[in-house]
Amino acid sequence: MPDLLHLNGLTIAPGERVLTRLVIAKLPSGAVIDVPVHVIRAAAPGPGLLLMAGMHGDEVNGIETIRRLVRRNLLQPTSGSIIAIPILNIYGFLNFSRDVPDGKDVNRAFPGHPRGSVASRVAHRFMREIMPLVDYGIDFHTGGAARANAPQVRCVLGDDPRTDALASAFAAPFTLHAALRPGSLREAAGAAGKPLIVYETGESLRLDEPGIEEAVAGTLRVLHHLGMGPAAPAPGRPGLVCRRHRWLRARFAGLFRAHVGLGDFVEKGQLFGSVADPYGLQAVRLESPLSGYVIGLNYMPVVNQGDALLHLAMLG
């Protein structure tokens, strides 16, 4: 981490706290879209930690996590620097949407291009302005529309001991070994040699209070692990490390009812739900083909063949 940080035309010295706004683009109306960025620097040297949310504008749990950390004045590093971005995708946030106006996903556009699509330009600006200033990162996400996630960290385990240590320090209820996705921030950070973990909880456009508090506590534990903050509260239960996970999908279309909840353990052969036709003529009982913990659940009652119903994670 350099002594002086240069961001958005500003020079930020150790011990300073700054809120700046990165101008991304303009809407067709002429309204400027900018991204607020908090930079909080300790007087003592140390690593740079990225806290980012709102990659998908409808994923409000991460946004609320960073807002809460800022509002409670919990981001006071004793060494190093914190760069906190509550909302990267302002477009999506304004429109309750996952994507930017061109319909593309910013988290499939990294490292981006200065003359590319809107998503590609957002990714490029981030890589040019923010990525050089950080050494580690936490990217906060949420389940998709009507699909909720149990609180979980996702990363590639066993590849970089720094990433493993970051996930262990966060100590989410579940830690998943998850392969890198092409065009994702996690892939771009890995290519830059900077460990980054993804935290997921809840579903889009709904606040998940327990998951948000898990995120706040996990972030404080990461700060302590990096030597950037005081000791943080230990997790209330041991976390589970899962190296395999699988979505169970609907074989039949109809109305889905789940008989299990997030975090439950499901035995092989256990009834986990049913799919019924909407006319009261028949219903199909759904039995799990394997044992595992429920880390994702589809809350949409109307399902088509092939829709994801239940996400199971297996230990080991």
pLDDT, residue 31, reads 77
Please state, in angstroms and rounded to a whole number, the distance separating the CA atoms of residues 216 and 212: 6
Lowest mean pLDDT among 31-40, 43-52, 270-279: 31-40
302-311 pLDDT, tens digit per residue, is 999 999 999 9
Amino acid letter, 287: E
Residue 136, pLDDT > 70, answer yes
Q: Which among 275, 186, 154, 173 is positioned nearest to 214, based on CA atoms?
A: 173
How high is the mean pLDDT of the chain?
Answer: 95
pLDDT, residue 1, reads 65
Residue 25, pLDDT > 80, answer no
Give the tokens for residue 237.
């239960």
pLDDT, residue 23, reads 85
The three-state secondary structure class of 165 is: helix
Residue 98, pLDDT > 80, answer yes
Band of the pLDDT at 30, cuts 50, 70, 90?
confident
**Secondary structure (DSSP) of 213-267:** HHHHHHHHHHHHHTTSS---PPPSS--EEEEEEEEEE-SS-EEEEESS-TT-EE-
Please state, in angstroms and rounded to a whole number, the distance separating the CA atoms of residues 248 and 246: 6
- What would the mean pLDDT of 29-40 be, rounded to a whole number? 89
pLDDT, residue 33, reads 81
Residue 26, pLDDT > 80, answer no
CATH architecture of 245-315: Beta Barrel (2.40)
pLDDT, residue 75, reads 98
Residue 102, pLDDT > 90, answer no
Answer for the pair 233, 217: CB distance below 8 angstroms, yes or no: yes
Chain position carrying tokens 């009652």: 301
Residue 204, pLDDT > 70, answer yes
The rounded Cα 107 to chain-centroid distance in angstroms is 11
Please state, in angstroms and rounded to a whole number, the distance separating the CA atoms of residues 154 and 140: 10
- What would the mean pLDDT of 180-208 be, rounded to a whole number? 96
Please state, in angstroms and rounded to a whole number, the distance separating the CA atoms of residues 45 and 79: 5
Answer for the pair 175, 244: CB distance below 8 angstroms, yes or no: no
Residue 167 burial (10 A CB sphere; 0-12, 13-18, 19+)? buried
Please state, in angstroms and rounded to a whole number, the distance separating the CA atoms of residues 304 and 249: 9
The most distant pair of C-alpha atoms in the chain lies apart, rounded to whole Å, by 71
Chain position carrying tokens 């799990």: 288
**Secondary structure (DSSP) of 284-296:** EEEE-SS-EEEEE
Q: Does domain 5-225 have CATH number 3.40.1390.30?
A: no
The boundaries of every CATH 2.40.50.100 domain in the chain are: 245-315
The boundaries of every CATH 3.40.630.10 domain in the chain are: 5-225
141-188 pLDDT, tens digit per residue, is 999 888 999 999 999 999 999 999 999 999 999 999 999 999 999 999
Percent of the chain at pLDDT above 90? 89
Give the tokens for residue 123.
């990714």
Answer for the pair 234, 227: CB distance below 8 angstroms, yes or no: no
Q: Which long-range contacts (CB under 8 A, 24 or more apart) does 24-29 make?
A: 24/90, 24/121, 24/122, 24/125, 25/118, 25/121, 27/101
